[in-house]
Chains A and B, each alone.
Chain A
Amino acid sequence: MTRAPLRPLAPVLEARARGENPDRIERAERRRRHEALRDRQRQRAESRLITLAVMFCLLFGAVGMRMAALAGSEVARASHSGGDSGIVAQRADIVDRNGAILATNLITHALYAQPPLMVDKPRAARELAAIFPDMAAATLLERFTSDRKFIWLRRHLSPEQQQAVHDIGEPGLRFGPREMRLYPNGPLAAHVLGGAGFGREGVAAAEIVGRAGVEKTFDAFLRDPAQGGQPLALSIDLSVQAAMREVLDRGMEVTNARGAAAILMDVRTGEILAMVSLPDFDPNDRPAPQTEGDPSESPLFNRAVQGLYELGSTFKVFTAAMALEEGIVTPDTVIDIRGPLRWGKHRIEDFHDLGRELSVTGIVVESSNIGTARLAQALGAERQQGYLDALGLLDPTGIELLEGGARPLYPRRWSELSTMTISYGHGLSASPLHLAAGYATIANGGHQVTPTLLRRNRPPPLGPAVISEQTSRQVLTMLRQVVTEGTASFGEVAGYAVGGKTGTADKPMPRGGYYEDKVIATFAAVFPVQAPRYVLVTMFDEGTVSALGEARRTAGWTAVPVAAEIIRRAGPLLGLRPAVESRAGPAVMLASGQ
């Protein structure tokens, strides 16, 4: 563009000649230029606007094409893990050693309310209260009319209840599908199974988590979908468990005891075939943990595993076994048992006068504290501790229960007095399960056992030997004599050759010292003695029987008859053939054993 002046000289001169204002010429020139500029801009804008329009057409076209391409393509799916082996139940079942169901799942529904969707709130509240007696119509209505949008009403419903709620026809009352843990046997194996509850809860599903017992210990296994719903097989035998619980419950009633526990264990494998602790509870409706009072009085407390008690004279068997194993005595060595045995300001006495001297067998059979203490003195603290440790009496049992971590209580400083009292079961507190494991070792030829609640599909290798086969045999003979002629005479069960040892220990007072009239009565039994298969530990807490005009608290009167009844009923269930035994049984056995 050639530069043109705003005020061209010729027209200006012309205008001046005509006497006009030459500014008009400048204004006209400006106007012309402005219009020319605008025209130029508009021309350029025209092409650029068309470019823009085409560009937007292309972009929208591209989006449309891409949409069409996507709409015509295949759907990508998230790949599923696992095969098509059918739906795996959320939580695996728990079965006993024979496959009987101990815990399974039940399809049920949770009930919740969404007040914004409700049509007739007063009617819904009224009808719900009629279906569920524990709900009050007024409270329900109050909750429905509050500004809450979502209210859980029931964790699970029975089919009848669900139908009834459905029949209300209220759209704001809704059901969420649930799997619920069901224990078809009720309280039968309550402490073993423990129980389960809901973890995280959603509308469509809820997670089931173990709360206690094997449900808790094996929670991860039971919930692992990779297991393919394979059930967890326990060592428990449901029929034996049922028999044991029934007998023990009856025994508790008769002896008026505060509690009772019993354990039946395979001496070879350590499998627990039955384990009962009373009082118990229904795992389908597990009570809330006790917040006040003595937790060991709660039904949730597993006396067989969690309870630590001074187990009294049942320990004398261990002491005798140690002395025999160390070669200090033979079963017939005669020991001076004149009492009382004084040690510092302490006195050790026998329950009643047993005379001046007894053989080792006699000490066990007659249950002489003084005699056992003398054996312990001869052993010494170190050796005693070593044996007790090898028998598993100083450590937690390692049973697969959360509660099973109880560590036995014993004095930190293992004095000579401790050695003497522990030799007859005082000063060391252990659980009945510890006792069962110790007796299993004595009974199975001297090999350590690890108690377990899981079914062993093949027998585990023998544990390290604690005592010799011969010592085991000698002690078993003494145990048999305790039943045939000693304190456990009520323990005789025809055909099952029961051997065992009673223990009656005064209960310690919470503030120190011992009660005069409260005892823990224990009977540890082995049967059949010729070829021991099982150990049964039975324990009563504060049991009393009045017999022969007297209140009887010793194990021989409480734990022993109950244990005998358990063996009488469990023996056939375990497939044990009753053996006809000659009266001179022990002597014959001893001969055959050697």
Chain B
Amino acid sequence: MTEMVHGARAARPGDPVLPRWWRSVDSWSIAAVVALCAIGLLLGLAASPPLAERNGHAPFYYVTKQAAYVTVSLCIMLVASMLSPRMIRRLAVLGFLAVLVALIFLPVFGTDFGKGAVRWYSLGFAALQPSEFLKPLFIVFAAWLMSASAELDGPPGTAMSLGTALVVAGLLILQPDFGQAVLILFGWAVMYFVAGAPMLLLLVVAAAALGAGAMAYSLSDHFARRIDGFLAETVDPSSQLGFASNAIREGGYFGVGVGEGQVKWSLPDAHTDFIIAVAAEEYGLMLVLAVIVLYLVITVRAFLRLIVERDPFIRFAGCGIAALFGAQAIINMGVAVRLLPAKGMTLPFVSYGGSSMLAGGLALGILLALTRERPQGAMADLLRGRVPG
């Protein structure tokens, strides 16, 4: 429909796919993702040899694996970013249903790898964490439902998406994986916010979330321990958090030097959840700020590009994914600096981890596809004498 509108940047017949894609996609965000992956590999060179040594692998075993993941992840991202929003919606809805089934059967077929939470499917050579893939797919699914309710006489899609969000969050809490559950609910809330939630309701929901957190604290040991660790005024220097804070302090503004860091030897999760501590120790505040700026670029650019978007589905899905992406980065780094209680959450594209990396590529691919510049019919409005919003 919109391609036929006069005055829009029209696709000429026979216009090659790639140039058109390149003209319309957000190349700054692509550059930021590639930069994050490069930083992730650079940090992996420092952070993963101790783990490789513990597990009896060659020193750069995990770096090699991560490089492979990065390649696959970037491919997924580029391919997904070339899809049309309609295609994205169709595939993602099907994908969401498939992953949801996988999540439901996790307690039966999954493993916990001795970490206390059943989150993974072991495939022998690799482990898959369905909840990582679930996040972007759920956002698309929920955006579809919400956009339907944004139509005149549409179905009650918002309520249905809320129901879905609660079911998914419930499944994640059963693992238990409070971090991902909170992220899912947060993503849904952002979409609802953008879709025009009444302010009063937002306040009520925030209060309810606090109440749920308090209940989880009193009912679940796993959760309570982590909160207690966060609330403790003085942090034990020999705990994970203590090591991380010390690493950041040691690093100072310019770092202790490449390969000189010590925290990677003491932190079991140095290459995943606490990778930012390794970055801070070896390269200092400079690299950390650079990483923060890269996440900020991706997140905020997505929001700003979505302002002109007229299709509610694209707007909801896009801002939901951008918010999830940004929130995950903030939570991960916020834990390392003790702004937030400890959560097992990876730093997208930087932490080591196959599932996280591939799912990150998928999410960013969807986001890039949704934030592509496309004709919005503004000229037609002017010609028809309507005042564009």
Contact = CB atoms under 8 A, between A and B. Distances in A.
Contacts, number: 135
B34 to A, nearest CB: 20
Contacts of A205: none
A73 interface: yes
A59 B303 contact: no
A60 B292 contact: yes
Contact of A56 (B56, B150, B326): B326
A35 B307 CA distance: 16
Contacts of A53: 299-300, 303-304
B193 A64 contact: no
Residue with the highest number of chain A CB atoms closer than 10 Å, among B190, B248, B250, B280: B248
A174 to B, nearest CB: 11
Contact of B249 (A33, A62, A66, A70): A70
B238 A116 contact: no
Residue with the highest number of chain B CB atoms closer than 10 Å, among A41, A57, A71, A116: A71
Given A35-B386, A49-B304, A57 B296 contact: yes
A67 B333 contact: yes
Interface in B352-389: 386, 388-389
B231 interface: no
Interface residues of B, number: 54
Interface stretch (B73-81, B218-226, B282-290): B282-290
Question: Is chain B's binding surface mostly helix, strand, loop or mixed?
Answer: helix
B111 interface: no
B194 interface: yes
Contacts of A149: 56-57
Nearest to A75: B249
B299 A67 contact: no
A250 interface: no
Contacts of A116: 56-58
Interface residues of A, number: 43
Contacts of B388: 39
A71 B300 contact: no
B135 interface: no
Contacts of B193: 48, 52
A509 interface: no
Contacts of B57: 116, 149
Contacts of B246: 75-76
B107 interface: no
A50 interface: yes
A241 to B, nearest CB: 47
A77 B237 contact: yes
B245 interface: yes
B152 A67 contact: no
A71 B248 contact: yes
A22 to B, nearest CB: 20
Given A71-B284, A76-B245, A149-B56, A60 B196 contact: no
A49 B304 CA distance: 7
B62 to A, nearest CB: 14
B303 to A, nearest CB: 4
A59 B300 CA distance: 12
A534 B248 CA distance: 69
B292 A40 contact: no
Contacts of A48: 193-194, 196
A74 to B, nearest CB: 7
B319 interface: yes
B216 interface: no
A71 B307 contact: no
B326 to A, nearest CB: 5
Contacts of B299: 53, 56, 60
B213 interface: no
A150 B57 CA distance: 10
B194 A49 contact: yes
A500 to B, nearest CB: 64
A71 B330 contact: no
A72 B249 CA distance: 7
Interface in B162-203: 190, 193-196
Interface string B303-338: 110110110100100010001001001100110011
Interface in A36-94: 37-46, 48-50, 52-53, 56-57, 59-60, 62-64, 66-68, 70-78
B242 interface: yes
B251 A71 contact: yes
B237 A78 contact: yes
Nearest to B311: A38
A49 B289 contact: no
Contact of A52 (B190, B242, B253, B337): B190
Contacts of A40: 389
B315 A45 contact: yes
Contacts of B251: 71
A52 B323 contact: yes
Contact of B303 (A56, A68, A117): A56
A30 interface: yes
B15 to A, nearest CB: 28
B252 interface: yes
Nearest to A33: B152
A60 B296 contact: yes
B288 to A, nearest CB: 5
A63 B333 contact: yes
B295 interface: yes
B41 to A, nearest CB: 21
A34 interface: yes
Contacts of A67: 248, 280, 285, 288-289, 292, 333, 337
Contacts of A45: 194-196, 306-307, 315
A422 B31 CA distance: 99
A150 B54 CA distance: 10
Nearest to B312: A41
Contacts of B245: 70, 76
Contacts of B323: 52, 56
Interface of B: 56-58, 150-152, 190, 193-196, 235, 237-238, 242, 245-246, 248-253, 280, 284-285, 288-289, 292, 295-296, 299-300, 303-304, 306-307, 309-310, 312, 315, 319, 323, 326, 329-330, 333-334, 337-339, 386, 388-389
Interface of A: 30, 33-35, 37-46, 48-50, 52-53, 56-57, 59-60, 62-64, 66-68, 70-78, 114, 116-117, 149-150
What 10 A-B pairs come out closest when comparing CB atoms?
A149-B56, A39-B389, A53-B303, A66-B337, A71-B285, A70-B248, A43-B389, A75-B249, A78-B237, A60-B296
Given A49-B303, A60-B326, A67-B333, 12 more contacts: A34-B152, A41-B312, A42-B309, A45-B194, A50-B303, A53-B299, A56-B326, A60-B296, A67-B337, A70-B337, A71-B251, A71-B280
